[in-house]
Amino acid sequence: MAPGSADLDFAIVDVFTRTGYEGNPLAIVCVPKSCILSQDQKQKVAREFNLSETTFLHEQETEQLEWTVDIFMTNAEIPFAGHPTIGTACYILSSIAKQRGVTSKVEGLFHFKAGPVGLRYDVATKAAAAEIPHNVHTHARVISREEVLELQPHLKEPYHHGQIGFGDKFPVVSIVKGMSFVLVELESLDVLRRITVTGSHLSTDGLDPEWDQTFLGLYFFVRTGKSEEGATTLRTRMIERTLEDPATGSAASDLAAHLSLTEGSNGETLDYEITQGVEMGRRSDIKIRVVLGKSCVEKIVLGGSAVQIMKGQLTVEN
């Protein structure tokens, strides 16, 4: 290690899968108390990994199972995201379970910019569940069919042949401030396969004040029925310019919350099983439970597995 530098442990895990090299990859950087990283340093590290997100897992301040976690994309910090939450939870809580000889469940807490997130890791199933922060907001602005077709020209021909069958307008929904998605329902998996990445994107102009400083992605979905346990099953794809994400926990939570509010009843608990990333060859399986209060979302629980595929050290300059 060079003078004035620090070597930090890192791991790469594939999230929302039990199979290595499927799901959504995530870099996790372990930050000890002795190391203080600036925003610029964290951003450079995230850019170096060049994954959709990198988390910085800060060492516990006390003996309590609580950690401060920062999430960075390659170009910005974000307040919350689903796959970094589940991936980091599986990584650290499985380690705690192994150290302590726990064979059932381990509970913990992450502190994100968006707020605290309660966690539970099931040792037997190797899956984590997180009660995620949410402030579900549907914007006054809607996205027209023409805007979607302009971004996805491969849909134009099937639409004019009557094969898509989606509506004329699509909602913009924020799960928290800073994370928003256009929810576009499609008629079939064949139509979903026509979706492509694009060099164009939707502007955040016209979104509701105080909610317009946000990531804005297109989340396409197809209803595929019910699971044996009665969960609503969906296939999805998330596109933002040239990015397609293998798994987007925040978008999946956003969609589940919206469907629950528009189709559920007060006091109802609704389960969703969402499959994403199939068209990329990186299948991801996301579980979500939504508990409705009186005309509001009372609780959202996001669940999934992760598998570690890589570990090592990186060097940062102090």
Please identify every residue annotated as catalytic: 53
Distance CA 79, CA 106 (A): 24
64-95: buried (b, 16+ CB within 10 Å) or exposed (e) per residue?
eeebebbbbbeeeebbbbbbbbbbbbbbbbbe
Would you tell me how many other CB atoms lie within 10 Å of the CB of residue 259? 20
Residues in contact with 127: Cβ distance below 8 Å, sequence separation at least 6, in sequence order: 90, 121, 303, 304, 305
Nearest to 110 by CA among 127, 90, 124: 90
